[in-house]
Structure 1
Amino acid sequence: MPNTLRLHGLSVPISPDDVSDIIWSALQDGSYEAKEARWAVKAVRPNDRILELGSGIGVITSLLAGVEGAHVMAFEANPHTVRLAEIVIKANNRNNVALEHGLLTAGPSRDFTFYVREDLWMSSLLKHQGPYIDTIQVKSSNIDEFITSFNVDLVVMDIEGAELDLLTHARLPGVERVFLEFHDHLYGLEGVRQVTSAMADKGFAYDPRGSSGPCVLFSRNTDPRTYEPEDIHAAA
């Protein structure tokens, strides 16, 4: 039977054989996606329709789905990771999640090579990111068409550098908020500038009330929001 860990208030019933030693250690000591777990959930509002890109093993997915009235549509390109995410989502009774194996990208559907790495969180579309153990072919779907079809309010993404191309070229029609993790070690501060500029052109502003380090919230809504005391302490 798989081990049942407790992580960020969730049950994570997976085995050390399912992940690398580095990821297993992070799961055990509670550091796995700890900052993302704190800040991504703060981007969610009750009854949000959430699109998550890069679900990983389903930890952030399950946390997002725990917000009242939320519905999560999640995509993950690695089929092994999808299987783990399905286990975690089911273990936490998140019946408001639709999880798919696939990719959403800007522009027409096309085939991509996805590079699978031992540390699942390093798997990506980028060959130069480091040594990989396998490749798979994944056909993309158009993100803007998906957003329009499902009336998405919030996009959450952790896609290992692919956010640079996606957010530069996607229109994100009707989306109110975008939460992402920057991977500046892959594209430098110039890439961060490109994403920030592209988001501003779409009407989004960097929202410091929901951002911390590389975990960044962009918002269209300019209504005033107050800081919670613990957020001020965490950002200090």
Structure 2
Amino acid sequence: MLVQDPQDIVAEFEGLKIPKSRFVGPQLARQISKGNYEKPERKLAVKLTREGDHVVEMGAGIGFVGGFTASQKPRLQLLSFEANPELIPHTEKLYDINGLGDRAKVENKLLTANPDRPDSITFHIHNSFLGSSVYKVGKPENPKIEIPTVAWTQVKADFRPDVIIMDIEGAELDFLTHADLDGIRAVVFEAHPNRYGQEGLAACLAALRSKGMRQTHHRMQVYAFVAEGVEAPH
């Protein structure tokens, strides 16, 4: 764990320190400190995870949701995936300064369940990291990069996750359509109907139900599902 200069910390929420970076401006720092940033996703992730869980996070962003969840469960193991390579050092630093480095890891890969998985997928960089996506976003001249993929079947076999947390700007539709969720106790995901419409949202929810999951929570665009037979906290 790094010994941190207090000036390198731009925000803190319930003990989780957020390191200084160009991705966390004053407005975002205030939202984090007040508990307003990613509030539904954060609260549901903590509510539905258990001590000792293995959690896969898709779309780590600045590392806040996964990092906060891990900080609340001292034996939780976190494996995060983030497509934007520029965010990886920030997320790794967040894990490190909060003492999570031995049980939280982030990889610069796109996790996909599609059986026709390509070696890489084009990822479109938005001016804000919050909007970057496999969908075309922003101006045509905005950068796009190729990001290596990793198969869900491989991650599922090697890491044996209990819970999935997902905020991947529309790519959840493809993942939920194809993913084998046997053994997964809970899924928390942010929907993006602006990417795929209400029909796509309905397809996401239907896919989860078809795989033996039932909806327990819905807050704004964040949904939570648990496996049949699992009692979800209110």
TM-score calculated relative to the size of structure 2: 0.87
Q: Give the counterpart of 2:111 among 75, 99, 104.
A: 104
Aligned match of 1:232: none
- The code of the aligned residue for 1:99 comes to V
Aligned match of 2:152: 143
After superposition, the Cα gap between the structure-2 partners of 1:104 and 1:213, relative to the gap in structure 1 and judged at 3 Å, is same
TM-score calculated relative to the size of structure 1: 0.86
Decide whether the 8 Å contact of 2:162 with 2:185 is kept in 1: yes
- The Cα offsets for residues 130-172 of structure 1, whole Å up to 9 and x where unpaired, read as 2363111112111122112211110111000100111011112
Question: Taking every aligned residue pair, what percent have the same amino acid on both sides?
Answer: 30
Indicate yes or no: 2:27 matched with 1:25: yes
Distance across 2 between alignment mates of 1:192 and 1:148: 28
SS at match of 2:8: coil
Aligned match of 2:221: 214
SS at match of 1:11: strand
Distance across 1 between alignment mates of 2:8 and 2:173: 37
SS at match of 1:187: helix
After superposition, the Cα gap between the structure-2 partners of 1:149 and 1:109, relative to the gap in structure 1 and judged at 3 Å, is farther
Aligned match of 2:39: 34
Decide whether the 8 Å contact of 2:92 with 2:105 is kept in 1: no
In structure 1, list runs of 5 or more residues that go unmatched. 228-236
After superposition, the Cα gap between the structure-2 partners of 1:193 and 1:29, relative to the gap in structure 1 and judged at 3 Å, is closer
Structure 1 residue 7: Cα displacement: 3.1
Aligned match of 2:190: 181
Decide whether the 8 Å contact of 1:46 with 1:68 is kept in 2: yes
Distance across 2 between alignment mates of 1:224 and 1:28: 35
- The code of the aligned residue for 1:7 comes to F
Aligned match of 1:10: 16
Decide whether the 8 Å contact of 1:164 with 1:191 is kept in 2: yes
Distance across 2 between alignment mates of 1:177 and 1:109: 27
Q: Give the counterpart of 2:92 among 82, 86, 89.
A: 86
Decide whether the 8 Å contact of 2:135 with 2:195 is kept in 1: no
Range 46-55 or range 182-191, more displaced: 182-191
Distance across 1 between alignment mates of 2:31 and 2:187: 29
Structure 1 residue 109: Cα displacement: 4.1
Structure 1 residue 196: Cα displacement: 1.0
After superposition, the Cα gap between the structure-2 partners of 1:151 and 1:20, relative to the gap in structure 1 and judged at 3 Å, is closer
SS at match of 1:63: helix
CA RMSD of aligned residues (A): 1.9
Structure 1 residue 99: Cα displacement: 1.3
After superposition, the Cα gap between the structure-2 partners of 1:225 and 1:62, relative to the gap in structure 1 and judged at 3 Å, is closer
- The code of the aligned residue for 2:130 comes to W
Aligned match of 1:162: 171
After superposition, the Cα gap between the structure-2 partners of 1:102 and 1:38, relative to the gap in structure 1 and judged at 3 Å, is same
Indicate yes or no: 2:62 matched with 1:57: yes
Distance across 2 between alignment mates of 1:71 and 1:226: 21
Q: What is the aligned length?
A: 220
SS at match of 1:200: helix
- The Cα offsets for residues 199-226 of structure 1, whole Å up to 9 and x where unpaired, read as 1111111113xx4221111111424445
